[in-house]
Amino acid sequence: MPEAGAAGAPLMTVIAVISFLACLALAGFFFVRQAAQQWTSDLSGSITVQIVGDSPSVIDRDIAAAENVLRATSGVEEVRVYSLEQRRKLLEPWLGKGRVSDSLPVPGIIAVEVSPALRKDLSGLQMDLANRAPGARLDDHGVWNDSLSASAQTGQILAFGIFLLIMVAACAVIIYAARAGLAANKEIIDVLHLVGASDEFIAAEVQRRFFVLGLRGALMGLSLAIIVLLLSGWALQGLEPSGYFLPAIRNNSATMVWLLMVPLLICTVAAVSAKQTVMRSLSGRW
């Protein structure tokens, strides 16, 4: 019953902004999570064996020995030995084209895909390699992995924390607006009481109003957020051809579904906090 009043339009704008920010925070959360998942999963099954030695012949011998060890180890799924050609190519950027002499001991590289079980415990493999191919060094990308997942976790916590803070702000704004609305509509509420309205009736009227207002504002914010996300996804895609950095925006309907929940959450928050506020402040009257 209490009318939309002057507070209607500004409040809706505030809710739209809150919803926009909440959508961005949530999209950020999913973006970081998915990017981290993608990166770490790409790395986590891979290890590299490097073979160093004083002369090409020693290196070649150790490469063969290491390959044998790897192929004999259970849990090793793929072994890819880099040829001398390939290894030279890898060095070219540092040494210059055609400058890699035949006598230079170019380190050997073997890329290995391992099962998750083996990935967890590489010590056996490490020992075998040390025994049979002394020049082999095993690199499990662990440093990369650890720092990636640590920073991804921090990013996720941060994004979700921001999302929660924005929701708290939404609650506070609604409570404030509901209180102000009650004060501004005091005469209406008095009359409603005097003609026999219960607190529940009045609270339900206020709740309905805030639900509609919350829904409209939140949908506006969501639309804006989707536009911004699509635009920035499109812009970054131009910069980074592989499109590797925006997994959350590109072809990800799960994130979109979660974003659609934001307006629902916001208008529920609006309705519930408005109702609680009204019931609490009316119960203080006679």
Binding part of the chain for another protein, among 42-50, 61-69, 189-197, 257-265 by CB under 8 A, reads: 189-197
Verify binding: residue 197, another protein, rule CB under 8 A.
yes
The span from the CA of 41 to the CA of 44, in Å, is 5
Q: Which of 55, 190, 235, 261 binds another protein (CB under 8 A)?
A: 190
Angle at 159 between CA 155 and CA 160, to 5 degrees: 120
Q: For residue 174, what are the CA distances in angstroms to 2, 25, 155, 213, 224?
A: 15, 20, 29, 10, 21
The span from the CA of 159 to the CA of 166, in Å, is 11
The span from the CA of 216 to the CA of 11, in Å, is 11
Q: Which lies closer to another protein via its Cβ, residue 171 or residue 204?
A: 204
The least CB distance from residue 2 to another protein, in Å, is: 9
Verify binding: residue 199, another protein, rule CB under 8 A.
yes
Binding part of the chain for another protein, among 94-102, 141-149, 196-204, 219-227 by CB under 8 A, reads: 196-204
The least CB distance from residue 205 to another protein, in Å, is: 10
The span from the CA of 205 to the CA of 200, in Å, is 9
Alpha-carbon dihedral sign for residues 70, 75, 77, 82:
negative
- Side-chain-side CA neighbours of 62 within 13 Å: the count stands at 27
Verify binding: residue 286, another protein, rule CB under 8 A.
yes
Verify binding: residue 195, another protein, rule CB under 8 A.
yes
Q: Which of 137, 193, 208, 250 binds another protein (CB under 8 A)?
A: 193
The least CB distance from residue 191 to another protein, in Å, is: 5
Verify binding: residue 279, another protein, rule CB under 8 A.
no
- Interaction mask 28-67, another protein, x per CB under 8 A: ----------------------------------------
The least CB distance from residue 192 to another protein, in Å, is: 6
The least CB distance from residue 183 to another protein, in Å, is: 17
Contacts of 148 (CB under 8 A, 6+ apart): 36, 39, 40, 43
The span from the CA of 11 to the CA of 13, in Å, is 5
Q: Which of 187, 242, 253, 257 binds another protein (CB under 8 A)?
A: 187
Verify binding: residue 201, another protein, rule CB under 8 A.
yes
Verify binding: residue 186, another protein, rule CB under 8 A.
no
Verify binding: residue 3, another protein, rule CB under 8 A.
yes
Verify binding: residue 234, another protein, rule CB under 8 A.
no
Q: Which lies closer to another protein via its Cβ, residue 194 or residue 239?
A: 194
Q: Which lies closer to another protein via its Cβ, residue 242 or residue 283?
A: 283
Binding part of the chain for another protein, among 49-57, 98-106, 192-200, 226-234 by CB under 8 A, reads: 192-200
Residues near another protein, by CB under 8 A: 1, 3, 187-188, 190-199, 201, 283, 286
